[in-house]
A and B are shown apart, each in its own frame.
Chain A
Amino acid sequence: MSATATRARRRVRLGSTAIVYLALLGVIVVGAVLVGSVGRNFFSDGNIRDILTGMSVLGFVAVGQTLVILTGSLDLSVPYVVSLSSLLAAETMRGNPANIAQGVLLALGVAALIGLGNGLIVTKLRVNGFIATLGVGLIVKGYLDTVYKGSAGSVPREFQLIGATGLGPVPVSTIIMLAVAALVFLFLRRTRTGHHIYAVGGSVDVARLSGLHTARPVIVAHVLCSVTAALAGLLLASRLGVGSPTVGSQGGYDLLSIAAVVLGGTVLAGGRGTIWGTIGGVAIFAVLDSVMSVMQVNPFLKDVVRGVVIVAAVAVYTGRALERRRPRFGAKGFHTTRSDSGPGPSAGPGLDPAEAAR
């Protein structure tokens, strides 16, 4: 018993992000073998480019989603923000390179306002993040369906290059995505608001008693999440050449981004997680997708595989995350042991601590 416990604890020292990247490595190895078995090269330039391209859109959305989940909220409105920003940008640009800056700024600005709305509804009206963003998403969807009948606007060639060019096998879009991720990483690590995001997500009550304005980090996280969703929309507009009212919901970015964030080791209830873990989670999805395309897996079976992988990966991960907390209670660990049942820390993602405290 004690031997296994020590071993488990030592292995767990790796930290959550390291485990995510180990899982990614495992997926890559298995994928390379599978791809090799059908006579293709997993590490060819073309394949690497496909995987990295696949990462970029979901990466943008998931980076923002990470911030929101860290505060203990959720954002289900992202797919509609993605569609809206692609349309706003494409319509403003109307094929004219001179309008690129305007289009980008308009899309980002509107998205920031939507995020602000989300944040205010969650913090000031005290509506659970799940419901608030579901509602805001429906409102934006209603606007999209009413105003747009189909694809609209057009994007100038110069803007399309962002989605099409690459440095060697690395697409520019992925580089931008990683740069945004790095900025968000610095934001979380170096700024006061960044630390407050973790504090509020860990426990709203403790954060408030420590003298934080608990609303501000949540609002900032929601605004940034919508802005990164808009970046994803801009990238999609650049790839498609037009804006589309359905591009976001077809991608299923709401649930997939949440899945990627959790796959990356961020706790759904908030307060723990890293940006690089999320990028790892996104990469796992991208590798999986690429391998399944090369293997010509039936598109419906892909969803089955995705579903199983999400649950399996998170199951492997949560066991360890719980273990990591143990040493806090003393050198040997407090014997509440794992045999007791029920997911204490895994309570609903939208758990409102104020309600739960009672």
Chain B
Amino acid sequence: MSTPAATRQTSRLASAALALLSPRGAVFLLLAILLVAVTLLNPNFAEPGQFIRFVQRVAPVAIVATGQYFVIVCGEFDLSMGSLITAQVVIAGNLVGQDESRSVPVLALMVVFGAAVGLVNGLITTMLRVPSFIVTLGMMLALLGGVLFWTGGAATGNPADGFRQIGRGGIRDVPVVDIIPWSVIILAAVLAFAIWFSRRPFGRTLVAVGDNVTTARFAGARVWWVKTAAFVISSLSATVAGVLLVGYAGVHPSVGRGYEFIAITAVVLGGVVLGGGRGWVVSAVAGAFALETLFTLLNVAGVPSTLRDAIQGAIIILAVAYSAAAFRSRRRVRTAHASPAEEKVPAGDASG
């Protein structure tokens, strides 16, 4: 605290520059490079109208990544998100039907159902001490099996148009961008909530629990409640994504398939460490955008769709290898000559 303000200012600037190379910042660099690459190959992409459509397409993935972030940062996994999205989509399709007046009650039911799934995941993980990987794997099988059993494995009709507007409609006749889709607004709201939540004591406790359960418990954290809340948040985010996907993609038992792995990939791409304790929610969302931009780039570049998986796989490995190496070198520097007071602050400081 005795450091002069001027020195502090320069070190702030230096750390802001370094932040771009740090694991949390690197994803923004990656995202920028990918966006530039897409724009070079397809100049239309940068037009506001096109771009907002792109954001609309990414919104469900980004929202799911936000939820997954909270689970991962407290040291757990949620593999049930994809199945939960499928379940919610099918619930919306079957229960809303063509009757628009049912939209609100069904929406409420979906929220309750999502929260219940998260609660079950969280309580089994914390109370019965089953590893979350197994709990959510079981939930994934049970939910998907249950939904397919209910529908007989076939696609069901789309719900009323009013309900689908949430995912496909928006505020029309906006000057520059022509349309601001509801999903973009919802994404912005979710992100704002997530940032606010991360900065609250509860959000900090979440990271502390992920970093070291024992320490957090000794510090007085109610670990079971914190982790359960993370699972509930994750399931609610899957619910929101489900509502958007009903509008965007329609009702089909394959909607939502693989979302859990996409979400985990996005979060990890954002420099969040699997096993918990380190990460920033904005980076996780940027990871989701980077991933989707990568898909767009491969699409625009005319890469055969079958090779997309391979390239995705290689990029995930490289990104995580980079962030692992960066963390190690940073730690070495810090242990060499940083005062303990400057040690890691859980979240929200990477913006410089």
Q: Chain A: residues with CB nearer than 8 A to chain B?
A: 121, 125-128, 130-132, 134-143, 145-146, 255, 258-259, 262, 268-269, 298, 300-308, 310-311, 314-315, 318-319, 322, 340-344, 346-352, 355-356, 358
Given A138-B316, A346-B129, list of 10 further CB < 8 A pairs?
A128-B320, A131-B320, A145-B306, A303-B144, A341-B126, A342-B126, A343-B132, A343-B213, A346-B131, A348-B274
Cβ distance B136 to chain A, nearest Cβ, rounded Å: 9
Selected from B126, B133, B316, B331, the residue in CB contact (under 8 A) with A358 is B331
In the bound complex, do residue B133 and residue A341 qualify as a contact, i.e. CB atoms below 8 Å apart? Answer: no
A349 to chain B: which residues have CB within 8 Å?
77, 131, 133
Report how many A-B pairs have Cβ atoms within 8 Å. 208
Query: Does B169 sit within 8 A of A, measured CB to CB?
Result: no
**What are the 7 tightest A-B residue pairs by CB atom distance, in nearest-first order?**
A142-B310, A303-B145, A138-B313, A342-B223, A307-B141, A341-B224, A307-B142
In the bound complex, do residue B138 and residue A344 qualify as a contact, i.e. CB atoms below 8 Å apart? Answer: no
Binary A-proximity of B116-134 (CB < 8 A = 1, otherwise 0): 0000000011111111111
Q: A341-B223, A342-B209, A348-B276 known; A304 and B142 CB under 8 Å?
A: yes
Can you give 19 contacting A-B residue pairs, CB < 8 Å? A121-B317, A126-B321, A128-B268, A131-B317, A135-B314, A136-B313, A145-B307, A255-B137, A259-B137, A306-B145, A307-B139, A318-B129, A342-B213, A347-B276, A348-B76, A348-B275, A356-B275, A356-B276, A358-B331
In the bound complex, do residue A258 and residue B316 qualify as a contact, i.e. CB atoms below 8 Å apart? Answer: no
Secondary structure type dominating chain B contacts: helix
Q: B325's closest neighbor in chain A, by CB?
A: A126
Q: Choose, from B27-35, B57-65, B146-154, B159-167, the stretch at the interface.
A: B146-154
In the bound complex, do residue B212 and residue A356 qualify as a contact, i.e. CB atoms below 8 Å apart? Answer: yes
Report the bound CA distance from A264 to B127 in whole Å.
21
Cβ distance B333 to chain A, nearest Cβ, rounded Å: 14
In the bound complex, do residue B142 and residue A346 qualify as a contact, i.e. CB atoms below 8 Å apart? Answer: no
Cβ distance A265 to chain B, nearest Cβ, rounded Å: 12
Query: Does B233 sit within 8 A of A, measured CB to CB?
Result: no
B321 to chain A: which residues have CB within 8 Å?
121, 125-127
Q: B151's closest neighbor in chain A, by CB?
A: A300
In the bound complex, do residue B125 and residue A343 qualify as a contact, i.e. CB atoms below 8 Å apart? Answer: yes
Cβ distance A285 to chain B, nearest Cβ, rounded Å: 12
A343 to chain B: which residues have CB within 8 Å?
125-126, 129-132, 213
In the bound complex, do residue A125 and residue B317 qualify as a contact, i.e. CB atoms below 8 Å apart? Answer: yes
B268 to chain A: which residues have CB within 8 Å?
128, 131
B137 to chain A: which residues have CB within 8 Å?
255, 258-259, 307, 310
Q: A134-B261, A358-B331 known; A127 and B308 CB under 8 Å?
A: no
In the bound complex, do residue B134 and residue A311 qualify as a contact, i.e. CB atoms below 8 Å apart? Answer: yes
A300 to chain B: which residues have CB within 8 Å?
145-146, 148-149, 153
Selected from B76, B149, B276, B317, the residue in CB contact (under 8 A) with A132 is B317
Cβ distance A267 to chain B, nearest Cβ, rounded Å: 8
Query: Does B217 sit within 8 A of A, measured CB to CB?
Result: yes
In the bound complex, do residue B126 and residue A126 qualify as a contact, i.e. CB atoms below 8 Å apart? Answer: no
In the bound complex, do residue B324 and residue A125 qualify as a contact, i.e. CB atoms below 8 Å apart? Answer: yes
Q: A255's closest neighbor in chain B, by CB?
A: B137
Report the bound CA distance from A322 to B137 in whole Å.
22
Secondary structure type dominating chain A contacts: helix
A315 to chain B: which residues have CB within 8 Å?
124, 128-130
B310 to chain A: which residues have CB within 8 Å?
138-143, 146
Report the bound CA distance from A125 to B327 in whole Å.
12
Report the bound CA distance from A134 to B314 in whole Å.
10
Chain B CB within 10 Å — which of A131, A343, A349, A355 has the most? A343
A298 to chain B: which residues have CB within 8 Å?
149
In the bound complex, do residue B213 and residue A347 qualify as a contact, i.e. CB atoms below 8 Å apart? Answer: yes
B223 to chain A: which residues have CB within 8 Å?
341-342
Report the bound CA distance from A248 to B97 in whole Å.
37
Report the bound CA distance from A157 to B316 in whole Å.
42
Binary A-proximity of B256-292 (CB < 8 A = 1, otherwise 0): 0000010011001000011111100000000000000
In the bound complex, do residue A355 and residue B75 qualify as a contact, i.e. CB atoms below 8 Å apart? Answer: no
In the bound complex, do residue B275 and residue A352 qualify as a contact, i.e. CB atoms below 8 Å apart? Answer: yes
Selected from A125, A127, A346, the residue in CB contact (under 8 A) with B130 is A346
In the bound complex, do residue B128 and residue A340 qualify as a contact, i.e. CB atoms below 8 Å apart? Answer: no
In the bound complex, do residue A142 and residue B308 qualify as a contact, i.e. CB atoms below 8 Å apart? Answer: yes
Chain B CB within 10 Å — which of A130, A298, A305, A318 has the most? A130
